A = this chain, B = another copy of it.
Amino acid sequence: MMRAFLLMMLIGCAPAPAPHSSTPAWVSDTKSSPAGAPPATAALAPAAAASAAAPATAAAAPLADRYREPVGKIVAAAHADRGAYQKLSHLTDRIGNRLSGSPGLERAIAWAAQAMKDDGHDVHTEKVMVPHWVRGSEAAELTLPIARPLRVLGLGGTVATPKAGITAPVVVVHDWAELDAKQAQVKGAIVLYDVAMPKWTEEKGSGYGETVQYRGAGASRAAKYGAVAVLVRSVTAHSLRTPHTGAMNYADGVAKIPALAVSVEDSTLIARLAADGPVTVHVRTEGQMLPDAESANVIGELRGSERPDEIVVIGGHIDSWDVGQGAHDDGAGVVIMMQALTTLRKLGLTPRRTIRVVLFTNEENGVRGGRAYAKDHEAELAKTVLAIESDSGGFAPAGFSVQARPEVQDRMKARVTDVASLLAPIHASRIILGHGGTDIGPMAPAGVPELGLDVDNRTYFDIHHTDADTLDNVDPAALADDVAAVAALAYVVADMPERIDAP
A-side interface residues toward B, CB under 8 Å?
89, 93-94, 96, 145-146, 148, 151, 238-242, 264-265, 268-269, 272-273, 324, 462-463, 466-468, 470-472
Report the minimum CB–CB distance from A289 to chain B (whole Å).
Answer: 24
Given contact pairs A89-B272, A269-B472, A472-B269, A466 touches B241 in the complex (Cβ within 8 A) = yes
Q: How far is the CA of A31 from the CA of B96 in the complex (A)?
A: 47
**Is B96 a contact partner of A468 (Cβ separation < 8 A)?**
no
Contacts of A324 in B (CB 8 A): 241
Tell whether, in the assembled complex, residue B472 and residue A146 are in contact, meaning their CB atoms are under 8 Å apart: no
Q: How far is the CA of A242 from the CA of B472 in the complex (A)?
A: 14
22 A-B residue pairings within 8 Å (CB atoms) = A93-B146, A93-B272, A93-B273, A94-B145, A151-B467, A239-B240, A240-B242, A240-B462, A240-B466, A240-B467, A241-B242, A241-B324, A241-B466, A241-B467, A241-B468, A242-B242, A264-B472, A265-B472, A268-B471, A268-B472, A269-B470, A269-B471
Q: Which residues of B contact A468 (CB under 8 A)?
A: 239-241, 265
User: Which residue on B lies nearest to A470, using beta carbons?
Assistant: B265
| Alpha-carbon distance A493/B29, docked complex (angstroms) | 55
* Inter-subunit contact B241/A93 (CB<8 Å): no
Output the nearest chain B residue to A146 by Cβ-Cβ distance: B94
CA distance A268 to B93 in the complex (A): 10
Quote the shortest CB–CB distance from A106 to chain B (angstroms).
16
Within the complex, what minimum Cβ distance (angstroms) separates A273 from chain B? 6
User: A240-B239, A240-B462, A240-B463 are contacts. A146–B96 as well, Cβ < 8 Å?
Assistant: yes
Q: How far is the CA of A96 from the CA of B269 in the complex (A)?
A: 11
Q: Provide the residues of chain B in CB contact with A470, threshold 8 Å.
A: 241, 265, 269
Give the 7 A-B residue pairs with the shortest CB-CB distance, closest first. A240-B240, A240-B468, A241-B468, A268-B472, A241-B467, A240-B242, A265-B470
The answer to whether A96 touches B466, judged by C-beta atoms less than 8 angstroms apart, is: no
Task: Give the shortest distance, in Å, between A199 (CB) and chain B (any CB).
Answer: 14
CB-defined contacts of A273 to chain B, threshold 8 Å: 93
Centre residue among A89, A273, A472 by max chain B CB count within 10 A: A472
- 10 extra interchain contacts, Cβ-Cβ under 8 A, other than A93-B269, A239-B240? A89-B272, A94-B145, A96-B146, A239-B468, A240-B240, A241-B466, A265-B468, A265-B470, A268-B472, A269-B472
Q: Which residues of chain B have C-beta atoms less than 8 A from A462's C-beta?
A: 240
A96-B146, A96-B148, A148-B96 known; A272 vs B471 contact (CB < 8 Å): yes
